[in-house]
């Protein structure tokens, strides 16, 4: 600027030109700064978008792999279910033939023992196949109004029949009035029976099992509380996995089937350790129809 002022005495036209050029140069400088700033920002944005896109691509690929695996698992499941169904018929014939042999009074003790083994093992296999088919090919619930008290009474009666009840006290908690629910009585009975049988099997030394029903936050809450061995914290996540069992003759399908039935009725099945001993399994069911196919 001092240079321009000095020149203005010698060549006024040139000085005016310089004065006009000055703001233009400043403007060009500012604009260049703004554009390069914007350029840098755009490049940063582009980099972020590119790395986000690659992350999404990896996620997409993983999901695709998972989908393919799930599809394969589904196909294997269907195949296994078909196989289980086909094995059941010849197994029935084997059990029937063993039954005929068992009725033969002249059987040698050694042969009698063999026939008993065939009978016992075919029964075990039949139970495994039935449980597996219940799990792999669940039927759609056929809903009707259910009297909850009658349902619980029937479950307790069935459980009491099926086991040696020595040392085990099975009782209903003093009933509070609960509303009727909509559901498939046979499926719900099977689900509760699985829970009660587990409770019984968890108390080889005896104890008390209490089954209760109450209305809680608009849901019907059925609880099965035992005083048994409980479940290790590390194993609690696994108990609903198919084929997880800690029992010598267990199939590990009782809880997955129960869980599935509860879900089909729009409910939730949970397991909690009791503060003193044993476990409480809770089933929260909607009081109105919420059946899932």
How far is Cα 14 from Cα 18, in angstroms, rounded to an integer? 6
- Per CB under 6 A, 126 contacts ligand ATP: no
Q: Which is nearer to ligand ATP, 213 or 255 (CB)?
A: 255
- Backbone phi, psi, residue 211, to 5°: -110, 125
The single residue among 77, 138, 252, 273 that binds ligand ATP, judged by CB under 6 A, is 252
Q: Both tokens of residue 177?
A: 């009035």
Residues composing the chain:
293
- Per CB under 5 A, 228 contacts Mg ion: no
How far is Cα 151 from Cα 167, in angstroms, rounded to an integer? 24
When CB distances are held under 5 to 8 angstroms depending on the partner's kind, the choice from ligand ATP, Mg ion, none that residue 239 binds is ligand ATP
How far is Cα 161 from Cα 146, in angstroms, rounded to an integer? 22
User: Is residue 138 classed as helix, strand or coil in its secondary structure?
Assistant: coil
Confirm if 172 and 195 have CB atoms less than 8 A apart: no
The single residue among 102, 119, 154, 246 that binds ligand ATP, judged by CB under 6 A, is 246
How far is Cα 154 from Cα 133, in angstroms, rounded to an integer? 24
Tell me, residue by residue from 152 to 191, as one string, x for binding to Mg ion by CB under 5 A and - for no binding.
----------------------------------------
Within a 10 A sphere around the Cβ of 263, how many other Cβ atoms? 13
- Per CB under 5 A, 256 contacts Mg ion: no
- Per CB under 5 A, 198 contacts Mg ion: yes
Tell me, residue by residue from 73 to 102, as one string, x for binding to ligand ATP by CB under 6 A and - for no binding.
------------------------------
- Per CB under 6 A, 198 contacts ligand ATP: yes
- Per CB under 6 A, 267 contacts ligand ATP: no
Confirm if 96 and 123 have CB atoms less than 8 A apart: no
Binding site for ligand ATP (CB under 6 A): 131, 194, 198-199, 202, 226, 228-231, 239, 244-247, 250-255, 279
């Amino acid at each position: 600027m001092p240079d321009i002022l000095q020149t203005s005495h010698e060549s006024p036209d040139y000085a005016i030109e310089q004065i006009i050029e000055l703001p233009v140069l400043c403007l060009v400088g500012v604009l260049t700064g703004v554009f390069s700033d914007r350029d840098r920002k755009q490049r940063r944005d582009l980099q972020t978008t590119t790395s986000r896109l690659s992350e999404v691509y990896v996620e997409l690929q993983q999901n695709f792999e998972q989908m393919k695996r799930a599809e394969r698992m589904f196909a294997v499941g269907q195949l296994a279910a078909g196989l289980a169904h086909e094995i059941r018929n010849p197994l029935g014939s084997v059990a029937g033939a063993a039954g005929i042999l068992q009725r033969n009074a002249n059987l040698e003790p050694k042969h009698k023992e063999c026939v008993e083994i065939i009978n016992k093992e075919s029964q075990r296999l039949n139970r495994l196949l039935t449980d597996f088919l219940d799990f792999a090919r669940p039927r759609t619930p056929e809903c009707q109004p259910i009297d909850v008290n009658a349902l619980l009474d029937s479950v307790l009666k069935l459980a009491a029949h099926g086991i040696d009840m020595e040392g085990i006290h099975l009782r209903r908690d003093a009933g509070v009035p609960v509303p009727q629910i909509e559901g498939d009585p046979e499926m719900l009975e099977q689900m509760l029976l699985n829970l009660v049988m587990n409770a019984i099997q968890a108390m080889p030394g005896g104890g008390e099992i209490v089954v209760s029903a109450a209305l809680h936050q608009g849901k019907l809450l059925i609880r099965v509380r035992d005083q048994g061995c409980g479940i290790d914290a590390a194993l609690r996540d696994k108990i609903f996995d198919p084929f997880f069992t800690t029992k010598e003759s267990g199939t590990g399908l009782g809880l997955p089937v129960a869980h599935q039935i509860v879900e089909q009725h729009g409910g939730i099945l949970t397991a909690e350790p009791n503060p003193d001993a044993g476990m409480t399994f809770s089933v929260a069911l909607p009081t109105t129809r919420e059946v899932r196919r």
